[in-house]
Structure 1
């Protein structure tokens, strides 16, 4: 695994993050890892737009649309 260091975090930001971690019952490290992981796994607007463009130029029938909706729901 890779380790990250973030320098020059303002004191008020660090304090708020520590409080939020404590409220979530997590260490600061676990809380920040969850934040970074969530950010890295969410598609960006550009990725969503690319995906939409691909789908807009594809020939998809109703059965395929329903299958993709079911897949999306199952992935939640």
Structure 2
């Protein structure tokens, strides 16, 4: 399994991460592994935008079509 080494981490950051791990009843390694796994499972904003741009364009519904559908729905009551 790959390892990650982080050098020159601000002591205040280390302290916060350690406290969060303790609050979950986890070691710092367990906590960071879970957090990094969750982070890797979510697309970045750039990745999300690229994915959306690659999807085929959806047909637009005009405001007039929306108003007509509302009126038709109301008439059907």
- TM-score (norm: length of structure 1): 0.68
Shift of 1:57: 2.9
**TM-score normalised over the length of structure 2:** 0.67
Q: Which runs of 4+ in 1 moved over 6 A?
A: none
Cα root mean square deviation, aligned: 1.7
2:53 — aligned with what? Answer: 53
Instruction: Report how many aligned residue pairs link the two structures.
Output: 59
Structure 1 unaligned regions, length at least 5? 60-76
Which of these two proteins has the greater Rg computed from alpha carbons? Answer: 2
Q: Report the 3-state secondary structure (helix = DSSP H, G, I; strand = E; otherwise coil) of the residue aligned with 1:7.
A: coil
Listed as ranges, the matches of 1:1-76 within 5 Å are 1-57=1-57
Deviations 1:48-72 (A, max 9, x none): 111211224368xxxxxxxxxxxxx
* C-alpha separation in 1, matches of 2:45 and 2:10: 28
Q: Which has the higher helix share?
A: 1
Q: Secondary structure at the match of 1:57?
A: coil
